[in-house]
Chain A
Amino acid sequence: SQQGEEDPQALSIQEGENATMNCSYKTSINNLQWYRQNSGRGLVHLILIRSNEREKHSGRLRVTLDTSKKSSSLLITASRAADTASYFCATDAKSERANNNDMRFGAGTRLTVKP
């Protein structure tokens, strides 16, 4: 079952602008991860944020987490055409069999950065 849900579904911006993507989830989580996927390829991990963290940075990426609102945002600053991809959040979803908090992914936000 899906846990994270990204918003918007699609985003188109000009190179140099900032891009903000949001993720909402339904149940309490331990961790939230963001991934990127170029068209027709596998996903690449970007950043992991734990439930006791509020913000993390990695290069031009900034992730925030608001557990009271059950939401996270991914900000890409000074975007480049090469940032064009789909971005997914993934959150815990308790697995009944193994008691592992395996992750579930949303449908993603399709980001297009125009040169």
Chain B
Amino acid sequence: ETGVTQTPRHLVMGMTNKKSLKCEQHLGHNAMYWYKQSAKKPLELMFVYNFKEQTENNSVPSRFSPECPNSSHLFLHLHTLQPEDSALYLCASSRTTGSSYEQYFGPGTRLTVT
């Protein structure tokens, strides 16, 4: 257990569905991240929040919509996804942003878009 939880662990959705991924951290961290991990590709940073403010949007399509209501919770709202969006979505947190701090990862949500 890393102190970062993600729900659901597995999700299958059609291209017209709307769903949300949830991440919660119990570490008192101020920064939270969404990553996408596809087979045999580098881990892709999607969004970064620090003190609830979005500090990075790595050219992510608008069908992915993040929400950070407080420093402990992070959501990823999904709508009209494409099959190529199928991947493992990882949430992470750290004390604050920057490379001096290690990131703590959740177990991920395995998303399949049909």
Tell me the A residues contacting B by CB distance below 8 Å.
2, 29-33, 40-45, 48, 88, 90-92, 95, 97-98, 100-108
Contacts and interface: CB of A to CB of B under 8 A. Distances in A.
Contacts of A106: 42-43
23 contacts: A2-B42, A33-B99, A33-B102, A40-B88, A40-B108, A40-B110, A41-B107, A42-B92, A42-B108, A43-B90, A91-B99, A92-B99, A98-B48, A98-B56, A100-B50, A102-B97, A103-B45, A103-B103, A105-B35, A107-B40, A107-B43, A108-B42, A108-B43
A106 B2 CA distance: 22
Given A98-B56, A100-B55, A107 B41 contact: yes
A45 B99 contact: no
A90 B92 CA distance: 14
Given A45-B104, A91-B99, A97-B55, 11 more contacts: A30-B99, A42-B92, A42-B106, A45-B102, A92-B99, A98-B56, A100-B98, A102-B45, A102-B98, A104-B42, A105-B45
Contact of A42 (B55, B102, B105): B105
Interface residues of B, number: 27
Given A40-B110, A92-B99, A105 B55 contact: no
A95 B97 CA distance: 10
Contacts of A2: 42
Contacts of A103: 45, 99, 103
